[in-house]
A and B are shown apart, each in its own frame.
Chain A
Amino acid sequence: MAVKDDLKTFKIAAWLGWQMESNWTDPFLFATYSIVRPIAGTLILVFMYLVITSGDTGSAFFSYMYVGNAFYMFVAEVLFGVTWVIHDDREHFMTLKQVYIAPIHFYTYVFGRAAIKIAIVSTGILITLAFGVAVLGVDIALASIDWPLFIISLVLGLIMLCVMGLAMGGLTFLTAKHEMGINEGVAGVFYVLSGVIFPITILPAWAQSVSMVLPVTYWMEALRRGLMPASMSEIAGGTGLEHLGNLELMGALALSATVFLLLSVAVFNYADKVARKKGKIDWTSAY
């Protein structure tokens, strides 16, 4: 019964999320918006690369950078998207309290709302990757993809990101409207330290130590190994994780993801309790 209720909540929340994401404009403009943003973000890196290397997109590093940046959109958008649900409902639509006191699992509602963002960003990533392969020569060949590695790591990573987003959403209960900076900050830390667009070997030693405890580091590595297994061994100086076999890599990902998952659940529960105690569930903080 509880599962059925959760599914219903999820479905309605997803429907609401879709309305929020899409009904502000006509389908053509929405599609344009959903495509242009991710590609523009990626092209910044492409041009940075081209300016230095004078146009050599055939290198392993280019594919490394391109693929990492594409999948990083999940990190940014999922963390942002989950947190944004709470922020939006509280500060703008002022409906948070009504949802909060409803006899549903609040996190199911939040994940349902965020699910649509994940779907939209997935489309953006697919388009970005397709563009990269077709136009820029990114080294992904369907026949070479290690599907089990790719799919398992993708799913595990998404679950982890959703729960982390929930934790940060919990923190938004306690802070003013600029709380969106929290997940930007966390996403930014991952961007720098998790080997998203450059191998962690370029970082100072202390930073590399931090990288090794972040689940996104292993996630990025696993995704790339899954999508372009051959190219990964050609990165100059290594990626910093080349000493780990695929199983060990998945083990490290599972372990670090589990730790972050448990931490996130604890953070959310704590923030929720404190927010209720301090009456911050339905406050507004515009200035």
Chain B
Amino acid sequence: MKAAAVETKSLTRVFHPKKKKEGKSVTALENVDLRIDRGELFGLLGPNGAGKTTLLKILSTLLLQTSGKAYVAGFDVETQYHEIRKRINMVSGGEISGYGLLTVKENLWMFTQFYGIKSSVALQRIDELLVRFGLLDKKDEKVRTLSTGQRQKMNVIRGFATDPEIIFLDEPTLGLDVNASRTIRDYILEWVREGENKTVLLTTHYMAEADQLCGRIAIIDDGRILACDTPENLKKLVRTSTTLKLDTTFLNNKQVLNSVKGVEKFTYTDDAERNMTSLRFVLDDEAAVSDIVSEIVANGARILGLRKTEPTLEDVFIKLVGKGFE
């Protein structure tokens, strides 16, 4: 039986400052236990600073853990990194790597040469991917002339061009427009479905992306895994609760809503331009709705809209972590 694509056991990573005056130690990962099977498209959700990138760096052999174990394709990240590197690749959102003076094709070809891929094979693969990602007309353009979206597509191609067994995608659609993001997501899904035992570990901020793509999702915050399950099962965590979305005129004193009975958690966004506040509640008692409305009106705001929503991953996150994604 083939080993899991990724397995971690009590994985911990602590960062110590170079000098005492530079601050305290930071625990980026704490006792992370994770198993990702081959052929999975696995998602890792968490706010900024949760530890997602740290985990990816350990798994991609760029960083050592402080304690615990991590295995990629059955190989130990600490002692067998040579074997791991033959089987993986990584793409990060907002990557600026590459050489501005080279063309897109040259840049992509260069990186394939570090993976022992024959030039003829590499160039063919690159051409196919350029077509797939709509970059064929840019192949002879210098990298420095690309827009942000085009550059990120190039980065994604770089990751897949080496045909890895396992690919780590760290917010690959960050900052991209709808079409570009869709192209990348569609390709990722296709790659996992049609490939043999191809595995993706995807970190993202975008709930819809995780919901659409991932067979299983782990939610991480402050270096700890809070939950790990399929999107449907995770949503069931809040299904016993009611999710309520409320739009009001600007509400000043929001903290008073915490004391309303039946309110489990809530988040809000202020829109200064439109003088509005959007509130999102997870309620463990639907009867709390009337108390919430009364409290809002008593604090001088007007209700502009109110609706119950189906639980989403963000609701799951709010329930588990107590805050939305910034």
Q: When A and B assemble into the complex, do they touch directly, with CB atoms less than 8 Å apart?
A: yes
Name A residues whose Cβ lies closer than 8 Å to a Cβ of B: 94, 176, 283-287
Q: Do A283 and B102 have beta carbons less than 8 Å apart?
A: no
Show 9 A/B contacts (Cβ-Cβ < 8 Å), sorted by A. A176-B101, A283-B100, A283-B144, A284-B100, A284-B144, A285-B101, A286-B101, A287-B101, A287-B102
Q: Do A285 and B144 have beta carbons less than 8 Å apart?
A: yes
User: From B99, which residue of chain A is reached at the shortest CB distance?
Assistant: A287
Query: B100 — which chain A residues lie within 8 A by C-beta?
Result: 283-287
Complex Cα gap A252–B101 (Å): 45
- Cβ of A172 to closest chain B Cβ, rounded Å: 15
User: From A91, which residue of chain B is reached at the shortest CB distance?
Assistant: B100
Complex Cα gap A283–B99 (Å): 11
Complex Cα gap A94–B144 (Å): 13
Query: A283 — which chain B residues lie within 8 A by C-beta?
Result: 100, 144
- Cβ of B32 to closest chain A Cβ, rounded Å: 33
B25-69 interface (Cβ within 8 A of A): none
Query: A176 — which chain B residues lie within 8 A by C-beta?
Result: 101
Complex Cα gap A287–B107 (Å): 11
Complex Cα gap A94–B97 (Å): 13
Query: B144 — which chain A residues lie within 8 A by C-beta?
Result: 283-285
Complex Cα gap A284–B107 (Å): 15
CB-defined interface of B90-113 with A at 8 Å, one 1/0 digit per residue?
000000100111100000000000
Query: A286 — which chain B residues lie within 8 A by C-beta?
Result: 99-101
Complex Cα gap A285–B99 (Å): 7
User: From A282, which residue of chain B is reached at the shortest CB distance?
Assistant: B144
Listed residue (B96, B101, B102) with the most chain A CB atoms within 10 angstroms of its CB:
B101
CB-defined interface of B116-151 with A at 8 Å, one 1/0 digit per residue?
000000000000000000000000000010000000
B151-208 interface (Cβ within 8 A of A): none
Ranked 8 nearest A-B pairs via Cβ: A284-B100, A287-B101, A287-B99, A283-B144, A285-B100, A286-B99, A285-B101, A284-B144
Query: B96 — which chain A residues lie within 8 A by C-beta?
Result: 94
Given contacts A94-B96, A284-B100, A287-B100, 13 further A-B contacts (CB under 8 A): A176-B101, A283-B100, A283-B144, A284-B144, A285-B100, A285-B101, A285-B144, A286-B99, A286-B100, A286-B101, A287-B99, A287-B101, A287-B102
Complex Cα gap A283–B100 (Å): 8
Complex Cα gap A94–B148 (Å): 14
User: From B19, which residue of chain A is reached at the shortest CB distance?
Assistant: A26
- Cβ of A216 to closest chain B Cβ, rounded Å: 34
Complex Cα gap A284–B142 (Å): 11
User: From B144, which residue of chain A is reached at the shortest CB distance?
Assistant: A283
Complex Cα gap A94–B99 (Å): 14
Complex Cα gap A284–B100 (Å): 6
Complex Cα gap A266–B96 (Å): 34
Complex Cα gap A286–B101 (Å): 7
Complex Cα gap A8–B96 (Å): 33
Query: A287 — which chain B residues lie within 8 A by C-beta?
Result: 99-102
Query: A285 — which chain B residues lie within 8 A by C-beta?
Result: 100-101, 144
- Cβ of B19 to closest chain A Cβ, rounded Å: 9
Complex Cα gap A287–B98 (Å): 9
Query: B101 — which chain A residues lie within 8 A by C-beta?
Result: 176, 285-287
User: From B102, which residue of chain A is reached at the shortest CB distance?
Assistant: A287
Complex Cα gap A286–B143 (Å): 11
Query: A284 — which chain B residues lie within 8 A by C-beta?
Result: 100, 144
Complex Cα gap A10–B100 (Å): 32
Complex Cα gap A267–B101 (Å): 26
Complex Cα gap A94–B101 (Å): 16
- Cβ of B141 to closest chain A Cβ, rounded Å: 13
Complex Cα gap A285–B100 (Å): 5
- Cβ of B161 to closest chain A Cβ, rounded Å: 20
B12-28 interface (Cβ within 8 A of A): none
Complex Cα gap A284–B145 (Å): 10
- Cβ of B23 to closest chain A Cβ, rounded Å: 15
- Cβ of B106 to closest chain A Cβ, rounded Å: 10
Complex Cα gap A287–B144 (Å): 12
Query: B99 — which chain A residues lie within 8 A by C-beta?
Result: 286-287
CB-defined interface of B233-276 with A at 8 Å, one 1/0 digit per residue?
00000000000000000000000000000000000000000000
Complex Cα gap A283–B102 (Å): 13
User: From A284, which residue of chain B is reached at the shortest CB distance?
Assistant: B100
Complex Cα gap A285–B102 (Å): 9
Complex Cα gap A286–B100 (Å): 6
Complex Cα gap A100–B96 (Å): 21
- Cβ of A27 to closest chain B Cβ, rounded Å: 12
- Cβ of A176 to closest chain B Cβ, rounded Å: 7
Complex Cα gap A176–B102 (Å): 13
User: From A176, which residue of chain B is reached at the shortest CB distance?
Assistant: B101
Complex Cα gap A283–B96 (Å): 12
Complex Cα gap A286–B96 (Å): 12
Query: B102 — which chain A residues lie within 8 A by C-beta?
Result: 287
- Cβ of B291 to closest chain A Cβ, rounded Å: 48
